[in-house]
């Protein structure tokens, strides 16, 4: 039976380190990490997520600010707010909650955020740094960064000689995940909807990352014996019986895959908790840089 990788425990460890480092930064330099979260509209899921980010930031000792704008906010007004936050020395991280309303160009908004405050890691400057191997100076998107920490807990930091397959090629997870694995000396294949014989390709993976957004697509017999399986997917599946509760599942058929894998993340409780933890970590990194201190590690 596979080792279950406890994302909640690893995330709490990261947050504990962030909290302790924040206290030292405040005591030694008088710098309080500042995180500004911007939400446009009233999407219930986004509101819950933003609230959890703000709560966690305050628990870490951050200066936490939330800007809630009406759904009909003009793009120019959102740009003006971001430019104000870019110029605010008390703010070290800026996060604009996606999706945005249709009248706003998400791409323009992301590129308006100053790269040194882009704690989501979506600005072209940070994407380019990651793609060229400058991992130590880039902000890496939080979900792949958290996934990488989970892999390191099982496999160590140097993954030389290991084959990795990433199923999914999104800009948010798949592509940055592949670049992180390359930087750790993996041999990496990125698979997607047009990949031929995906099951056979997955069976070559010592590290298999599923980020495709299809419930339980990766079956147990696709998993190489002893592989480390990172399931990024979060899918809500309707109840199988009338009156039953919907359930959350990943992109991997967990019970089947557990029979072959050496280690595997559950859903929920695997990658999910790591995303907010790494957002806190990125914000602290930005604050340390602003104070002229070395980048902390987690």
Annotation says 120 is catalytic: yes
Q: Is 97 a catalytic residue?
A: yes
Catalytic residue, from 118, 120, 206, 231: name it: 120
Sheet of 207-210, strands arranged across: 3-4, 263-264, 228-231, 207-210, 163-167, 187-191
In angstroms, what CA-CA distances link 7 with 4, 10, 122, 268? 9, 5, 23, 9
Spatial strand order of the sheet with 63-69 comes to: 63-69, 34-40, 93-96
Q: Which of 53, 117, 129, 175 is labelled catalytic?
A: 53
Contact 15, 280 (CB under 8 A): yes
- List residues with catalytic annotation: 53, 97, 120
């Amino acid at each position: 039976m596979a080792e279950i990788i406890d994302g909640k425990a690893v995330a709490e460890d990261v947050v504990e380190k962030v909290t302790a480092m924040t206290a030292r930064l405040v005591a030694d330099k008088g710098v309080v990490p500042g995180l500004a979260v911007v939400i446009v509209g009233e999407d219930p899921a986004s509101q819950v997520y933003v609230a959890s980010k703000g709560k966690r930031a305050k628990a870490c000792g951050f200066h936490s600010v939330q800007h809630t704008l009406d759904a009909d906010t003009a793009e120019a007004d959102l740009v003006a707010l971001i430019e104000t936050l870019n110029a605010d020395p008390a703010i070290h991280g800026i996060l604009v909650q996606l999706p945005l309303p249709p009248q706003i160009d998400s791409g323009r908004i992301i590129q308006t955020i100053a790269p040194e405050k882009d704690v989501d890691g979506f600005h072209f400057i940070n994407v380019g740094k990651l793609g060229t191997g400058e991992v130590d100076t880039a902000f890496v998107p939080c979900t792949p960064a958290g996934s990488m920490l989970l892999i390191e807990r099982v496999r160590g930091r140097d993954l030389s000689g290991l084959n990795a397959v990433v199923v999914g090629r999104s800009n948010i997870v798949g592509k940055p995940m592949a670049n992180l694995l390359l930087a750790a000396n993996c041999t990496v294949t990125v698979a997607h909807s047009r990949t031929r014989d995906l099951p056979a390709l997955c069976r070559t993976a010592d590290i298999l990352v599923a980020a495709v957004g299809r419930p339980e697509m990766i079956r147990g017999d696709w998993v190489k014996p002893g592989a480390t399986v990172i399931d990024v997917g979060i899918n809500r599946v309707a109840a199988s019986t009338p009156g039953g509760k919907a359930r959350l599942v990943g992109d991997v058929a967990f019970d089947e895959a557990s029979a072959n894998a050496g280690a595997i993340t559950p859903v929920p409780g695997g990658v999910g908790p790591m995303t907010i933890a790494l957002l806190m970590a990125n914000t602290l990194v930005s604050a340390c840089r602003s104070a002229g201190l070395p980048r902390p590690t987690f």
